[in-house]
Structure 1
């Protein structure tokens, strides 16, 4: 009983002391000044992202295809000035065609790229009435000015020694073609109307391996018709065959010891 009374008295005294402490704290807070905002100068953010950073967008452009580059260049004048840099279109063209750098070209890379992807083909400029359809095969590069053309792909293929193209074609079904323009070449497969076939089972169509230099369509002489094709040789196979083959090789690599296919070609 005594313990309970002492505990009760202690609790009452504690409550009185606590209430007095709270009252003194309230009075002290009323006398003190309220909380004020910091008056020191604001910190300047030096890491603000700059959307118009030329080096950044030049790097990003390396990962975009031609269509995306055109869309980005049409955004505003600043993007157009960045995207139209020739180095960007050169990288895009070489990347998409998977060919080495030819070092020198006569036209801007943006025009060269456009001539490759805009759907143009040889029969747009010549003999449109003979053309039916076409497809892109790919691109390749010429480092030398001599090409080896062959209608066979077998171990018996030999590089001819004659200088006359017709003689080479008749003897080997292949020939050497000189004065080839070095650089990038585009290969297409053309489906055209057969001009000479009179066989009953013939569907009246003919497939053609079409190879052209990447700069051809941009030359004014080709566009206005002052340049024309010249037949340098022909070879006709009259017997029936299972299939037709056509191949174009850079002669430099056929004669090089490091790149020549010894099992396919011999001199």
Structure 2
């Protein structure tokens, strides 16, 4: 992924070249035994891999800072455009293709483009991104009303969580599962606990990104519409409409507020 940013790629190559030249100089200057030679070579290669890891982390951090911010602030199309600009014209390894599609899929999901969500998921193939695959396939099957398949994906996520160590990622997946469970319960006419769940996310999220606020506000507004609490529902839907950028939450909230679509159809 280092090659996504030219300056990082140049810096990495220069540092790697410096390390290799340094190794060659030492090897020529000092008459080393084969054991010392191999040991030094191993050290140099380890350093090259460490440098690669550092620049990979810098690349991911920069993407989060400069690109993912568009997603967080409900600019989904701009987010997708930036991701495609970074990755799209490059030959990608399987691992980097997985990362690319894991970035794309979240943008398509908030645009309600679930054909693209499905397509991206099929290209999320490396082990470290199984969580993203199951998350969005779960969302895909719920959208398509294939609830048995959705439950299968949910169970896969629960099994995956048992194997993970990253507490932050575990928490995010657990929240995602609870969200899916409430979506399914609401589809089945069971509204108990849903409003408290989404309100809790808004109140407890730190930082509270606009995309989180908007998605939860829309979920609460839709829920209240289903419960017949129209005036309260409008308060939340107005938030989703006003702050939803170009996401589905804005467009769906607008349709509900204008009475252009029945809430039961969503």
TM-score by length of 2: 0.22
Structure of larger gyration radius: 1
Task: State TM-score, norm by structure 1.
Answer: 0.22
